[in-house]
Amino acid sequence: MSIDTGGTTRTDPIPDVKDPYALFADWFAEAKAKEINDPNAMYLSTTTADGFPSSRAVLMKDYDARGFVFYTNYESRKGAELLTNPRCALLFHWKSMERQVRIEGTAIPVMPDEADAYYASRPYGSRIGAWASSQSRPLDARATLVKRVAEVEADYPGEIVPRPPHWSGFRITPVRIEFWQAMPFRLHDRIVYEAGAGGWTTGRLYP
């Protein structure tokens, strides 16, 4: 008879750490060393005005004790939904490491100078694309987008491409962070942090 161990060889539980950002920093450093593609990819979940959820993968560009930052077109579906209802969720899933980090929090627009600095660091083509793409809205044909890119390139032929007013970032400020790690026999390890007036409280959850 075969025994389902859950497909993992991990035996060490998640360490007890008071600061969730310190634990995240350790896990993210390991992910950057081991994950083949986009260790900074995170799934962002938002909701429509009538409560329908929607999720998509975005790239985390920065994080600190204030939260997790990504950039987007504010007129896109995710941008519009966050500006209407800033409550959202993030999920990091590092499959090869058998780990997940789940985050619930509130999206706050980043400061303009922060968005300017990141936008200026992007490749020329990405900066052009931020102007050319009416993100999330209907597109009649790929040729229309290609034509629009050429028009924007003609407007900004040099390296200086200003940041569009509709393009910026959000910082997700967590109220809850859960770390999940696979363990044998599907007795997975879960530790949760919740923000309160006195700082973070922490505890473990059944798998």
Q: What is the pLDDT of residue 6?
A: 58
Domains and CATH numbers, the chain: 20-119+165-205 (2.30.110.10)
Q: Is there a catalytic annotation at residue 142?
A: no
- Is pTM beyond 0.85? Reply is yes
Residue of 87, 127, 171, 186 marked active site? 186
The DSSP symbol for 165 reads: T
SS3 of 107-126: the string is EEECCHHHHHHHHHHCCHHH
Give CA separation, 124 vs 130, 162, 166, 198, in Å: 10, 11, 18, 45
pLDDT, block means (10 residues), the chain with 207 residues:
56 92 97 94 95 96 97 97 97 96 98 98 96 93 96 94 97 98 96 95 97
Q: What is the pLDDT of residue 2?
A: 38
Q: What is the pLDDT of residue 157?
A: 94
The DSSP symbol for 75 reads: T
Residue whose pair of structure tokens reads 């450093």 in the numeric block? 29
Note the Cα 131 to chain centre separation in Å. 22
Cβ atoms of 44 and 88 within 8 Å: the answer is: yes
Helix %, strand %, coil % of the chain (to 5): 30, 35, 35
Q: What is the pLDDT of residue 3?
A: 42
Alpha-carbon gap, residue 140 to 54, rounded angstroms: 23
Burial degree of 169 (CB within 10 A; 0-12, 13-18, 19+): buried
